[in-house]
Structure 1
């Protein structure tokens, strides 16, 4: 399925998502903010999955959705001005300091493994949401990560606001 709205100032892409309710909630966020959503296969569920549909409720007709056979397929369909911004819990520019540009694609990795190194290396930039209550490098003493759908909503709202989308 090809990309909808080629001139969108912002879009979200999920790399091999595994959990239907997370994807459904992200689809709802994308519908609410009119941000296209791209899903990079393989998916851990069917798009017709009842849990996915339930999480998105009756918002699915408002989601500008595309699916892509792999990461290269997604990259090949993006407009030339697009930057792929890898969203990661580590190693990125802090969200409050990030300089968004029209055409940016917020790329989120799998819930269990995040973005693999070969995909991270193809990103124009990496973005991190600062968490004052974060766990240490050994995963102790705090929160290891945000839920994928929560992280996506935070990043979409912040990026869209700075891009003047609303």
Structure 2
């Protein structure tokens, strides 16, 4: 018998995806679609490397924009002033703890840096205990941002929701 796993507004499975100064519109569009698919809230920390009206952003997100829970933040400090007391993890190639060795809880914030610069070093150093990475070979510097968000988010969903 085939089981259908659905996440919906009644499902107690809510996460927050935070993108720090994203640069590439299609990545953010794909992540926006992922957030709609998983009932997650997308937080964008300015400055963005594109306009929210960018056609590449809209195309990647398809027609799901009206269902996206989106919050904009003027800076990392503005975001932290509002949500800094909440449980969060930050994804970084500089982290030593793999993402599958942490315990996620509903409502966690998963923070990802920009495609070109990552997260600020001082922010990573101040939160090393919350820093996670995705294991990979030394043949690449990092994974695509949208892929990284999907990997970590679905592990959180697996742990918490199923």
TM class, shorter-length: 0.7 to 0.9
Aligned to 1:99: 103
Normalised by the length of structure 1, the TM-score is 0.83
Gaps of 5+ in 1: 1-6, 136-141
Check 1:130–1:53 CA distance in 2 against 1; reply closer, same or farther (3 A cut).
same
Alignment map for 1:41-52 (pairs within 5 Å): 41-52=46-57
Aligned to 1:110: 114
1:156 to 129, 153, 157: 153
CA contact (8 A) 1:8 1:36 kept: no
Off by >4 Å, runs of 4+ in structure 1: none
Check 1:9–1:31 CA distance in 2 against 1; reply closer, same or farther (3 A cut).
closer
Gaps of 5+ in 2: 1-11
- SS in structure 2 of the partner of residue 152 of structure 1: helix
Normalised by the length of structure 2, the TM-score is 0.85
Aligned to 1:139: none
Distance 1:149 1:72 in 2: 24
